[in-house]
Amino acid sequence: MATIESETPAPSPAEDPSQGKVRLKRFAALMIPATLAGGALVALTAQGVLAAQFSISGIAFTVTADHLHGDGFEQWGAIDNTAPNSPNLTDTGGQATVVVSAIGQAKLYNFCQSVNLGAINLVLRAGRGSTPVTGTDLVVDSDALSGDATFNSLEVGNDATTLNDVPGIAAPPELLGDFGQQAKTVDINNLRQDNYATTAGAFSLPGLSMSFQSNGC
């Protein structure tokens, strides 16, 4: 069973301790989200469709990995929405434009995930050494992606609703005519993402550890 360690540094003078307390309270019941891997940086369109299957918090979390391998990859663009009257993303009307990335079977090596709670970061690590984090049917909504990517059997310019390299997963019918791309496999070194939402059919986190730290991933 994973243990949670506490390493709570004093906030710097520039930070507002009350902000940290508010966000920490908001994340008191934080669940370990699954995570993904994303691909090429492309211009994707969005038309107000909810990509996530739930209202997002509006606070992004960072994911990094030394290497990701995915069998089955799809990608399109969409918009996520916060819950009504959420205090987050108010400057965009509670919306986040995202790149939606889906992977059928994924392996992530030296996985790190962190969320900034104001004066401190909640950091999750797993998949260190030779045993990677694994996931099936991962769908991740990101507003920033980077890494060194290689695709096999890449198709660019598909209608997003016709993607089929991840069986059972494609853009919803409302995105008929929108841009999409897919590949049989994807490999990404030095993966880094800022994500708003993640869903997965299954997710395994060997060597899981969680702690509060001054720095995120």
Which tens digit of pLDDT belongs to each residue from 59-84? 999 999 999 999 999 999 999 999 99
Helix (H) or strand (E) holding 61: strand 61-81
pLDDT at 52: 56
Q: Give the Cα separation of 94 and 84 in Å (integer).
A: 8
pLDDT digit string (tens) for 92-114? 999 999 999 999 999 999 999 99
Q: Is the pLDDT of residue 202 over 50?
A: yes
Residue 195: C-alpha distances to residues 15, 32, 162 (Å): 23, 13, 24
Amino acid (1-letter code) at residue 100: V
Burial of 26 (0-12, 13-18, 19+ CB in 10 A): middle
Average pLDDT, the chain: 81
Above 90 in pLDDT, residue 125? yes
Give me the phi and psi of 191, to 5 degrees please: -70, 135
Statement: the pTM of the whole predicted model exceeds 0.85? no
pLDDT tens figures, 138-150:
999 999 999 999 9
* Partners of residue 76 on adjacent β-strands: 100, 180
Q: Higher pLDDT residue, 116 or 170?
A: 116
In terms of C-beta density within 10 A (0-12 exposed, 13-18 middle, 19 or more buried), how is residue 43 classed?
exposed
